[in-house]
Chain A
Amino acid sequence: MTGFIARRLVQSIVVVLLVTVIVFILLHLLPGGPARAQLGPRATPIAIANFNHEMGYDRPVPVQYWTWLEQLATGNLGFSVKLNQSVLSLIGERLPKTLILTVLSTLFALVVAIPLGVVQAVRRNQPSDYAITFWAFVFYATPPFFLGVVLIVVFSVYLPILPAEAPQSSSLGVILSQPAGLILPVLTLALLTVAQFSRYMRSSVIENLAEDYVRTARAKGAGEWTVLVRHVLRNSLIPIATLLGLSLPAIFSGALITEAVFNFPGMGELFWTAAQTQDYPIMLGITVLVGLATVIGSLLADLAYAALDPRVRFA
């Protein structure tokens, strides 16, 4: 097990480095240049030359990459001139918002989707199964911007009982102290996730209910509730564990649309703005973070497999 984790960590570092190389090259292939994009239409050739020199953009790309790696090794993700802040402080400012949004919505989705999926499987092809499937498809097919706007119009404009925007602070404490402002953005993200998770859960439970071990448990006299909770549920959670593991990058990369609709600028909005202004340090910083989250998420999913399914062993 320890050897497996060590090997995976080494692979992860290689993968993240490869990702940064690709991103670094792609960034330099973007049309226009970072200088003018960041300095604006008033930039004079002198200002552009100064900027390129100060940022090191006038050096060969491999040299720039090596310099960036050296900085990374010391924990320095660079400085965003456009936003006048270090990348680390920008991430520190935006990450709490994204974490709150994605973690709460994922938790909400799990709490709702798992029982829903089980109920659907147990009562498959009955009216309740059809009704839940219908709504799952509706939410699955609804773009988040539309769902967010519908929720705002209903709960903020028409009724109005909830704020139209999320709490306006970067402090975790302040944000959590205004739970009303979190309800609509969390719901927007969660409803989509509930729809997704419940479909997986339904299929997984149906599949497991047809397995031999279920028949054996029943033959041994186990009640339906015991079979379902002690045997089927555990095995049925395996696909959800995979989904959760693969959701980890999203927790760090943010939910751009939902952040924009509810004026809750987190990691998604930060990356989007950086991409538009060709703010290389921010884009690279977030790429590293999301790359790490992806490989760690994938590792955690593998570990979760082993915990949920004793047949899985690490070679």
Chain B
Amino acid sequence: MLASVTALLAAACAGQTTTPSTGRPVEGGVATFAEPANTTPNYIFPFMATEYFSVITISDFQYLMYRPLYWFGDGAKPAVNDRLSLADQPTYADGNRTVTVHLRPYSWSDGTQVTADGVAFWINMMKADKAKWAVYVPGGIPDDIDSLTVDSPSQVTFHLNKSYSAQWFLYNELSQITPLPHAWDRTAAGPRDCEHNVADCSAVYDYLADQAKSLNTYATNPLWLVVDGPWKLSSFNADGNITFIPNKTYSGPNKPHLDQVKLAPFSDNAAEYNVLRSGDNSIQVGYLPQEDAPAKPDNQAVGHNPLENNYSMDRWFNFSVNYFALNYHNPTVGPIFAQQYYRQALASLVDQKAVIKAALHGYAATTNGPVPTTPENPWATDETEPNPFTYNPDRAQQLLANHGWTTPPDGVGVCQHPGSGPDQCGPGVPAGARLEFQMMYRSGAPQVQLSMQQLQSAATKVGVRIDLQGAPFDTVIGTAIPCDAGKPDCNWQMGNWGGGWTFAPDYYPTGEQIFGTGAGSNEGSFSDPKLDQLIAATQHSDSPEAMRAYTKYGSETLPAIWQPNYDYQVTEIANNLKGVTPENPYLNITPEDWYYVK
């Protein structure tokens, strides 16, 4: 709203012309990166508990200083980045039950080497305090590691409890490891030995986690100044104003060109846009609020940049799928959701393309199934994973009518033929059950609201009534939770928090965390033994067929209802700043690649 008003008023007051910028690269300078509204990094210790976990904290903050063992995002491609990883590609033996990782000669800023002990330090901490690691999934790392051997300072071998897909193990398990420096292996009382002794790790974790609670010491605490990434902190303010300076001892391939990189916090998208519009050059990498993004013509990458005097525009894709959840454990409507035909009817009422055009101004891709098709990736494309249930209200009406429901336009459908037969409403659905549902959706996001209104409108025409209830993002994710039928917290019916799932830092889109039976982030408690089997196959087999079978079955089965997968942001980059694009699909930023031109 604010941004729209700004745009209108400014359009009335000012005209703009395009001034492209090219030139000779120069060393030095300061670049400021606008953080997403209301999101600031506030935790420095990479071994984060769930309450501190956020992609922003990892991607815009920790990774600048503390590099993960494997870097993901190769340009704009969702893939492991061999050049920026701290280790060579892992080698697999013993039927993929033994994994050997050879570290490259990276060093910490205190002069010590990044060693296999640093990897063991992380794994031992996981073993000691796995419940405190935000990304821990029962059965996953470290549970799937029987033992770990430090073969040499530069080599470590993992002995696994089963044979796993090499790609899955690299993308979803090794991806979680951030080698830690020897200097951190201590408590207030003095050095400990978590690198070699799991029993020492809890005390070390407690000490480091406690240190991480003193935000005002982040830029001065000697612990946090030991870095192996290209940047180190120069100043840190808890409000989100953060300054990095180059780590002169960085041993990676891409040394920083800038003198400083700053992160700037914003309390509101419109406030950020106002600063960009003012042209005071205080922000070099910012973003357009979704509602202010210029409409994208079908045949162009982006629309006309409203800030072209000072900035160039880039679409930043996010490797994610977007969907809303159905509560299969809701005692009233759960049995209806459990019917595949009903989910297919509901999906047929979602007009993703219209929402993308109207609400998202073209800056989104359709979600076809459980694996993203955008950005381009080896696992799914629009061809290998077509959406079988594109917008088709007639199909929705037919599916419902063919299964014993009345479908009065502008009325509420009723189950007339209960039972488990092929033309009946399905098991657990009683006679007289009504197609009447409640949807809690994230308020304050116009694209989510419009998408929900489109669904509501289309559903009305086939006898499905959806009552919409807007709520803040945190309320939606606090309500749409896996629950046990009959418990008070299991009354929710449909929940749309507007973000679906981002595959980071578990980068392989295999779905065990979101659609597997009993998974912590399977909000609706979806359960399908065949889907579980197919997910397991993707975890244990490197055959492309495993992923294809999963995507095909997932897109047909519809564990959740797919929604438009919108761009992470439309980035505005200062015309004289280069190296910002292509932007990382896992949302990592690499300001060490940025440089000014004159």
Contacts and interface: CB of A to CB of B under 8 A. Distances in A.
Interface of A: 30-47, 50-51, 81-85, 89-90, 93, 145-146, 149-150, 152-154, 156-158, 160, 163-165, 168-170, 259-265, 269, 273, 275-278
A165 B474 contact: no
Contacts of A46: 131, 138, 520
Contact of A41 (B267, B278, B523): B523
B500 to A, nearest CB: 9
Given A41-B523, A42-B134, A84-B212, A157 B277 contact: yes
Contact of B475 (A32, A263, A273): A32
A51 B10 contact: no
B223 interface: no
Contacts of B274: 149, 152, 156-157, 164-165, 261, 263
A158 B272 CA distance: 17
Given A145-B2, A156-B274, A163 B280 contact: yes
Interface stretch (B48-56, B69-77, B542-550): B48-56
A85 to B, nearest CB: 6
Nearest to A165: B275
Contacts of A163: 278, 280
Nearest to B52: A84
B482 interface: yes
Contacts of B523: 41
B536 interface: no
A87 B362 CA distance: 42
Interface of B: 1-2, 5-6, 9-10, 13-14, 38, 42-43, 49-54, 131-132, 134-138, 212-213, 215, 237-239, 241, 264-268, 270-272, 274-275, 277-280, 471-479, 481-482, 489, 497, 499, 501, 513, 520-521, 523
Given A38-B51, A156-B278, A160-B280, A45 B9 contact: no
Contacts of B212: 84
Nearest 8 pairs of A and B residues by beta carbon: A32-B478, A44-B520, A37-B478, A37-B474, A263-B271, A164-B278, A32-B479, A276-B472
A30 B475 CA distance: 9
B14 A157 contact: yes
Contact of B6 (A152, A260, A265): A152
B271 A262 contact: yes
B481 A36 contact: yes
Given A40-B50, A41-B521, A153-B13, A278 B475 contact: yes
B271 A261 contact: yes
Contacts of B497: 41
Contacts of A40: 50, 53-54, 477
Given A31-B475, A153-B6, A278-B475, A265 B239 contact: yes
A160 B278 contact: yes
A85 B53 contact: no
Contacts of B50: 39-40, 42-44, 47, 51
A84 B13 contact: no
Contact of A278 (B137, B138, B474): B474
Contacts of A84: 42-43, 52, 212-213, 215
Contacts of A31: 471, 475, 478-479
B478 A165 contact: no
A85 B42 contact: yes
B477 A149 contact: no
A159 to B, nearest CB: 9
A146 B186 CA distance: 54
B136 A149 contact: no
Nearest to B241: A168
A231 B181 CA distance: 75
Contacts of B49: 47
Contacts of B215: 84-85
Contacts of B272: 263
Contacts of A269: 267
B274 to A, nearest CB: 4
